[in-house]
Amino acid sequence: MSFMAGLEGCEPEASDAVEALIIGTLERIVEEGIDQEHVLAALHQLELSHREIAGDSYPYGLQLILAGLSSAMHRGDPIELMDIDPVLETLREEVMSPDFIPNLIQTLLLDNKHRLTLTLTPDFELAERKETAEREKLAAIKDALSPKQIDAIVARSIALEARQSAEDDPSVLPRVGKEDVPATISEPQPTVRVLATGDPLSYYGQGTNGLAYQQVVYALPSLPQELLEILPLYTSCVTELGVGARDYAQTQAWQAQICGGINCFSSIKSHQDDEQQVQGTLTFSSKCLRANSQALSELLAETIEGVRFDEEQRIAELIEQITTRKLSSITGSGHSLAMSAASSGWSPTAQMNHQYAGLAGLIRLKKIRESLKNTQERAALLRRFKTLHELVTSADRQFLLIGEPECEELLSAPVAQAWATKSNESALHEFTLEPIRQSVAQAWTTSTQVNFCAQAYPTVPANHKDHPTLQVLAGFLRNGYLHSAIREKGGAYGGGASQDGSSASFRFYSYRDPRLEETLTDFAKSIDWLLNTEHADNQLEEAVLGVIAAMDKPSSPAGEAKAAFYNRVFGRSIDQRMTFRERVLATTFDELRAVAERYFLGVTPSVAVITSANAAQTLKIEGLEVIKI
């Protein structure tokens, strides 16, 4: 185990000062002690994190097994790691001593001489130097090869290609077939009541292991452009500011004592039948131990009613942090950003996602960060945040609560009480976006040795009868052709396809790809492969089961309830999902070929790539726009 502390975004020469700051802070805590409220808040966060039944990323049972694995490998008892109650009881007693934390710091950190100070500095020429060195090294190796060695390499390459092109025998593995798919699907059902303010409250009784989840959900109203463009920034910043008489630091401490923090997020989705029509919500969300439900209801109400928009230095710091995180995430999520850019012209939601949360949004964010060096610009941005906040929180709202079934009254009453005097009579227009349906051709350049390629064909929204078939087609192309062509033979880390009902587009992508034009060609070749090759039945079944597996993916108890709630909010009924499921299971080869011919043949797709400036110059795409990130 290790303890790490550091700062981001410092000047390289500040390493000594940062180290002195960290050591000095630890020494001061040892000498002066630490506020008991902070210690209890940290213990509260520990209990909250260990009690929560997660499982939305991967199964909760598997998480518990992996958590206990290190103990089991060293002959410990993994069950002790899962039974947190005795540990919490012990810690509750120990933290009552004011010397508990100072003694730990002195013994485990200050007296521990096994310490390393690491400074990482960006080098914008590193990728180019590595590429040059690699070319020179390969050229030297090639020049030193004898004819016999060259022949051996060619022979091994031919053997590798033959192996990659060979079809595996699926019968050697255990098989799950369509006959194993459950015939029906279900979802948690809420109890819905109307509060005295006229706001609906939906309660989902789920096994949450003593946690309560609260959300205040607003229907997004119509927003002018100057407010729409700051919506992602607003949702990222609003819960990180001060509330009432408390500044942001005091507010964060207040939150830590009561809950697991407050998140704010917007959800903007296309209509099921028309990708040009949209609907949006804005949500304030939190979770707490059941005993803190009253305090959490009051905290959420006070946060929404009393958030401060006057902390200019804080907003500059937050924008700096957000920008740094997004810049550093490009190579990790490059394929998603490229797909977002490629499909940005096919629907209003796709365009908004690209403009404000994608690559175009990143350029906009860098400009905002630069402008905030001016104090007047900081004040102006905060005024826009305040205007947006007042507009959104005057819209129609409803509440979502999730807890154990027997706790419905216990958890619902504090919400009704906290909001009893905060009626909301809205007469705002519904949220809309300008329609759009046009192709794009873009190359986004940055310092990178690898590429991220994407193409997007216009297709259909989620309720169209071809949507399930296109979902199956995406898996069929990925498993049968794209994985081999792009990853195994092309050398990319990954590649595939997806059908997106929100943008009504079918998208191809590659991830960390050494190739560029060749990959774009492989996207088109996959359609030729589909139409002109005989395919085995098991390939279709594998693609069908992949779509069903995504539908039936297990989730946490709270995650299932949240999904059911937002399906209801956005009009995604269980009957619609059953129709989709039945169409997926009934998909045939003829239907795959029919949708491929209908939506791909003779159609020029949108293209977006993330690549280096030099590689972008080699692209031969008509109307290509080259944009520096």
Got the DSSP string for 108-120? Answer: IIIT---------
Q: Which of 418, 451, 481 is the last residue of a domain?
A: 418
Q: Is 105 helix (H, G, I), strand (E, B) or coil?
A: helix
Report the 10 Å Cβ neighbour count for 146: 8
221 domain-assigned: yes
Residue 554: the pLDDT is 85
Locate 238 and state its tokens: 């609003």
Supply the CATH number for residue 260's domain: 3.30.830.10
- Cα–Cα distance for residue pair 76/68, rounded to 1 Å: 9
Strand partners, 212: 288
Strand partners, 491: none
In Å, how far are 216, 258, 333 from 294, measured between CA atoms? Answer: 15, 10, 39
Residue 425: the pLDDT is 67
Element (H, E) at 509: strand 505-511
Beta-carbon contacts of 90 under 8 Å, excluding residues fewer than 6 positions away, are none
- Cα–Cα distance for residue pair 117/134, rounded to 1 Å: 31
Residue 214 shares a structural domain with residue 259 = yes
Q: Is 86 helix (H, G, I), strand (E, B) or coil?
A: helix
Find where tokens 């998480």 sit: 63
Residue 70 shares a structural domain with residue 140 = no
212 domain-assigned: yes
601 domain-assigned: yes
Count up the domains in the chain and report the number: 4
Residue 204 shares a structural domain with residue 324 = yes
Are the CB atoms for 304 and 421 separated by under 8 Å?
Answer: no
430 domain-assigned: no
Q: Which of 418, 451, 471 is the last residue of a domain?
A: 418
186 domain-assigned: no
Residue 462 shares a structural domain with residue 594 = yes
Q: Which among 271, 268, 246, 274 is positioned nearest to 258, based on CA atoms?
A: 246
Residue 426: the pLDDT is 67
Residue 573 shares a structural domain with residue 478 = yes
Residue 342 shares a structural domain with residue 466 = no
Q: Which of 418, 453, 483 is the last residue of a domain?
A: 418
Helices 375-392, 312-328: crossing angle, 10 deg rounding: 90
Residue 516: the pLDDT is 95
Residue 282 shares a structural domain with residue 411 = yes
Residue 400 shares a structural domain with residue 459 = no
Residue 233 shares a structural domain with residue 362 = yes
261 domain-assigned: yes
- Cα–Cα distance for residue pair 580/595, rounded to 1 Å: 16
Report the 10 Å Cβ neighbour count for 305: 13
Residue 69 shares a structural domain with residue 16 = yes
Q: How far is C-alpha 170 from the geometric centre of its chain's CA atoms? A: 33
Positions in the chain short of pLDDT 50: none
Q: Which among 94, 83, 354 is positioned nearest to 229, based on CA atoms?
A: 354
DSSP state of 245: T
Strand partners, 219: 281
Please give the residue range of the domain that contains residue 77: 12-110
Reported pTM: 0.88
Residue 427: the pLDDT is 66
Please tell me the chain's helix, strand, coil percentages from 3-state DSSP, rounded to the nearest 5: 55, 15, 30
Beta-carbon contacts of 359 under 8 Å, excluding residues fewer than 6 positions away, are 337, 340, 341, 444, 610, 627, 629
- Cα–Cα distance for residue pair 583/461, rounded to 1 Å: 15
Q: Which among 541, 625, 547, 628 is positioned nearest to 580, based on CA atoms?
A: 547
567 domain-assigned: yes
Q: Is 247 helix (H, G, I), strand (E, B) or coil?
A: coil
Residue 93 shares a structural domain with residue 155 = no
In Å, how far are 451, 508, 587, 592 from 537, measured between CA atoms? Answer: 34, 23, 11, 13
Q: Which among 616, 629, 627, 626 is positioned nearest to 516, based on CA atoms?
A: 616
Q: Which pairing describes strands 262-270 and 441-445: parallel, antiparallel, or unpaired?
A: unpaired
Torsions phi, psi of 215, nearest 5? -140, 140
Residue 317 shares a structural domain with residue 234 = yes
Residue 57: the pLDDT is 74
260 domain-assigned: yes
DSSP state of 488: I
